[in-house]
Structure 1
Amino acid sequence: MSAQNSQGIQTLLDAEREASKIVQKAREFRTKRVREARDEAKKEIDSYRQTKEEEFKKFESEHGAGNKAAEDDANKEAETRIKEIQDAGKKSQDQVVSDLLKAVFEIHPTPHIEV
């Protein structure tokens, strides 16, 4: 009976070792698969990023020229208006100075009336 118990224990130990090997292989397989999935996802992300960057560069080149032209037009218009304002200021500069001096030197005193 003791030999039978010993053989039964040995069979259980062998089964436990075999189960341990199967579990270890499953862990290794899972770890390997996780790494492969991560690498695959990284490649997909890089590919997607590259595609979107190319789309953005294309969009920027197509629409950037229009913005540059509009910006140049706006700058030209602003320069023209500034020049007009400066010219108007130069034309009436003498009159403005004269009016200011007249307002300062010609005093018209008026009595203060309380209401």
Structure 2
Amino acid sequence: MKSQGIQTLLEAEKEASKIVEKARAYRTQRLKDAQSEAEKDIAALKQKNDAAIAEFQKKFEGSQSKEQGTLDKKTQQQLEDIKRAFDAKTDELVAKLLDRVASVDPQPHRNLSKPSKA
């Protein structure tokens, strides 16, 4: 009778061990599945964000090059205006410089005091 009770306990222990092992395997598999699902979600989100960024860049890249072209034209026009002004005033500037250099009017410095007679 005792051996039959011991045998029953051993069988129950084996059965419990199998159940615990199945539960562990199930939990491990669920963790792997959850991780795999999370990786898929992350990849999908990343792909969606990359597509949105690419669309945004494409949308504003064209306007940026258009603005760059407009700025280049304005800059070129301003450079041409400066060059024309320089060419128009060069002769006048040279004449003024030569006039100032050629006409020297020596005067004592305003801080120079006359020597006192003592």
Q: Secondary structure at the match of 2:12?
A: helix
CA distance in 2, matches of 1:70, 1:46: 36
- CA separation of 1:33/1:91 partners in 2, compared to 1, >3 Å: closer, same or farther? same
- CA separation of 1:104/1:15 partners in 2, compared to 1, >3 Å: closer, same or farther? farther
Per-residue deviation at 1:23?
1.7
| 1:112 corresponds to 2:110 | yes
| 1:14 corresponds to 2:41 | no
Which runs of 5 or more structure 1 residues have no equivalent in the other structure? Answer: none
Q: Secondary structure at the match of 2:108?
A: coil
Of 85, 88, 93, 1:91 maps to 88
Of the structure 1 ranges 46-55 and 78-87, higher mean CA displacement relative to structure 2 is found in 46-55
Which residue pairs with 1:32 in the alignment? 29
Of the structure 1 ranges 73-82 and 105-114, higher mean CA displacement relative to structure 2 is found in 105-114
- CA separation of 1:82/1:21 partners in 2, compared to 1, >3 Å: closer, same or farther? same
CA distance in 2, matches of 1:57, 1:83: 39
Partner letter of residue 86 of structure 1? K
Per-residue deviation at 1:44?
1.7
Counterparts of 1:9-88 in structure 2 under 5 Å?
9-88=6-85
Per-residue deviation at 1:50?
1.8
CA distance in 1, matches of 2:87, 2:39: 67
CA distances 1:62-105 after superposition (whole Å, capped 9, x unpaired)? 33222221111011101111121122223223333444455456
Of the structure 1 ranges 31-40 and 97-106, higher mean CA displacement relative to structure 2 is found in 97-106
Partner letter of residue 61 of structure 2? G
Which runs of 5 or more structure 2 residues have no equivalent in the other structure? Answer: 113-118
Q: CA RMSD in A?
A: 2.7
Percent identical pairs in the alignment equals 33
Taking structure 1 as the reference length, what is the TM-score of the superposition?
0.71
Q: Secondary structure at the match of 1:110?
A: coil
Q: Secondary structure at the match of 2:30?
A: helix
CA distance in 2, matches of 1:93, 1:12: 115
Taking structure 2 as the reference length, what is the TM-score of the superposition?
0.70
